[in-house]
Structure 1
């Protein structure tokens, strides 16, 4: 049960890391950020929760993972591992009965400050007929639960920012429109060389020109020494083009940004094909199965990206998943030969 702004299950906000471990039955954190006595966050993989600590350190927030975490209930509403639209409807009805204000958070999911609840979603993992986990085609709810001092802006407040910084993410208004397949232009691609009109090695100016002069709708980068703030050269890492439905990713060659990878967006991007297989805006499991069948026939080897993305070995292409409401659809990232993809 959730005790809003106080805790959930055996966890109480304000607990120390040893108290959190004891409350979880002596659980061992699989990942810890920060040194002992000054932990910033801890991921308990078997329990399916992440504990986020504020000064002290003291427990300030708990993230419950959608596929592996405990079931959490607010009133008579189950929050975890549900179809997002159904959970949203139930939570809106509960908020209305209690007179609590509900809003949309950065990911397009429901957030209620009075309860310290910020909902989210994660792609489901399903068992294959051979008994191993593989990507599914739906998303299931997860959630972040916070203490009172974080409730007004959970993802915009420390210490949550130190755990998951979403300030540079494109805010979702709560809708996931998908361009019809027949309305998408068709692009070709040459492995390790080009994607449609975009050639690896292009400068940002040439990328804009190749996209008919479209200005980036989102531009992301970083300074070299975050601890010193905005000092030194600003490094451009990616340009997102909403009209074209692609993101250009840059690396630096001799101090100049050069195109190293292109992500074609699943909901809005152009269509591309691999050996007759359309890659964009499709059912993810269908494409994964097709790639697996071809690899089993020794047509090519398969590689798995850091996010579980499948791709033909040696071609610098990964089939990714983009959320579309309660489901996911396929998108793809195309990379230059030396590009190291980190998700």
Structure 2
């Protein structure tokens, strides 16, 4: 089964990271400490660590590690990693514009027009006789609890911003674990 090539939807030239369910993405492994995330992310660029606002009392303190690509001009973060004091790294978000490309069984997930990604997810599910799933907002993606599809407004188009996750302390599912900073929708980056 063939899907559109990255160049067909404008993301050629990105780093390619491998996703391993419940293990991690690229050089980042679930359970890493903040220092380990910063060290592993140096291959992509510079990092900035900040505290996340405590929106839910059940979660331990959480840090946000923003990874910016190497280069002369400052750029928005390509990857945002969320690290909990109790469970370590639990969420990795790939920016729709600047993030590395991550595929799920041959389907590129980052920076896609969400309607095209939905078509590919349906075609994949039919061809492989497997399921796909929708998020509560209606974004289609693989039937993997460790992948939560989000939308990011890029110019006039809503593009895919996948979150790769494991459950964090005090949560029942990855959806419950999602950092409150990732609830923002329609934040334009272009």
Question: 2:124 is matched with which residue: 279, 282, 294?
Answer: 294
Question: What is the SS of the residue equivalent to 2:123?
Answer: helix
Pair 1:242-2:68 in alignment: yes
Do the aligned residues in 2 keep the contact of 1:300 with 1:312 (CA within 8 Å)? no
TM-score (norm 2): 0.68
- After superposition, the Cα gap between the structure-2 partners of 1:251 and 1:236, relative to the gap in structure 1 and judged at 3 Å, is closer
Question: 2:47 is matched with which residue: 207, 216, 225?
Answer: 216
Cα deviation code 1:259-303 (max 9, x no counterpart): 001111101001111122211122211111111223344632223
Question: 2:36 is matched with which residue: 202, 206, 210?
Answer: 206
Cα deviation code 1:1-25 (max 9, x no counterpart): xxxxxxxxxxxxxxxxxxxxxxxxx
Q: Which residue of 2 aligns with 1:270?
A: 100
Cα distance between partner residues in 2 of 1:330 and 1:224: 25
Do the aligned residues in 1 keep the contact of 2:49 with 2:63 (CA within 8 Å)? no
Cα distance between partner residues in 2 of 1:224 and 1:237: 13
Do the aligned residues in 2 keep the contact of 1:265 with 1:331 (CA within 8 Å)? yes
Question: 1:340 is matched with which residue: 171, 174, 188?
Answer: 174
Output aligned runs, 1:139-158, within 5 Å.
none
Question: What is the SS of the residue equivalent to 1:222?
Answer: coil
TM-score (norm 1): 0.40
Question: What is the SS of the residue equivalent to 2:47?
Answer: coil
- After superposition, the Cα gap between the structure-2 partners of 1:312 and 1:181, relative to the gap in structure 1 and judged at 3 Å, is closer
Do the aligned residues in 2 keep the contact of 1:219 with 1:239 (CA within 8 Å)? yes
Indicate the RMSD between aligned Cα atoms, in angstroms.
2.8
Cα deviation code 1:228-262 (max 9, x no counterpart): xxxxxx92242222326111122342xxx610011
**Post-superposition shift, 1:310?**
2.5
What are structure 1's unaligned runs of at least 5 residues? 1-179, 227-233
**Post-superposition shift, 1:334?**
0.8
Cα deviation code 1:8-45 (max 9, x no counterpart): xxxxxxxxxxxxxxxxxxxxxxxxxxxxxxxxxxxxxx
Q: Look at both structures and tell me which one has the larger radius of gyration over its CA atoms.
A: 1
Do the aligned residues in 2 keep the contact of 1:260 with 1:336 (CA within 8 Å)? yes
Q: Which structure has more RCO (C-alpha within 8 Å, separation ≥ 6)?
A: 2
- After superposition, the Cα gap between the structure-2 partners of 1:267 and 1:220, relative to the gap in structure 1 and judged at 3 Å, is farther
How many residues align? The count is 154
Cα deviation code 1:50-69 (max 9, x no counterpart): xxxxxxxxxxxxxxxxxxxx
**Post-superposition shift, 1:315?**
4.6
